[in-house]
Structure 1
Amino acid sequence: MVMKSKKSKSKRVSLKKKYKVIRKVKEHNRKKAKEAKKLRLSGKNKVEKDPSIPNNWPFKEQELKALEARRTKAIEELEQKKAERKERLNE
C-alpha cells in the first residue's frame, strides 16, 4: 500500500454560506445585547441622590419628609405602570 499525500482542504466558501453566517452572527449579537439591556433595566432601580441638606437648615425636617414622599410616589407610579403593561400584554 502506497500512502498518498493529502492536500489541504480549500478555505473557499460560497457567498450564500458567507452571508448566512454573517446574518446569524448579527442576530446572535442583537439577541445578546437585548438580554443584557433587559438585565440592566430590571437589576437596578434609580435612586434619587440625598440632597445633603445642612443641619442648620431652618425647615430640614419638612424638606426630608417631602423628599421621602416624592420618592414613595415615584416608586408607586413605576409599579402602577408596570402593572398596566402586564395587563395590556395579557389582553
Structure 2
Amino acid sequence: MRANAYPLQACLYALALHRWLRRRLRDYDYERHCGGAFYVFLRGAGLDAPGAPGAGVHALRPSARLVDALDRLFAGSPASRRR
C-alpha cells in the first residue's frame, strides 16, 4: 500500500471530495459526510484467496485535521508559506 502511495492518493481524493461537498452542501461537515476510502484488491479478495474475512480490502479515512491542512496547503494560505 505505502510503496504505491495509496495513502497519499486517498488523501488527495478526500481533499477533492471535501472541497466539492463544502460548495454543494450548506450544512457540510467532514466528520459527518465523509466516510473514507476503500481499496479492494481483487486477487486478495477472491473466493479462493486465503486469509481472514476482509482480506484484500483496505480502508483508509484521513483525519479532518489532515484534510484541512491539505486544503490550506493547496490553497496557498500564508501559513503554508512561512518557511
Q: Which has the higher contact order (CA 8 A, sep 6+)?
A: 2
More strand by share: 2
On whether the aligned pair clears a TM of 0.5, the verdict is no
Instruction: Give the structure with higher Rg (CA).
Output: 1
TM-score, length of structure 2 as denominator length: 0.31
- Which of the two has greater helix per residue? 1
Normalising by structure 1, we get a TM-score of 0.28
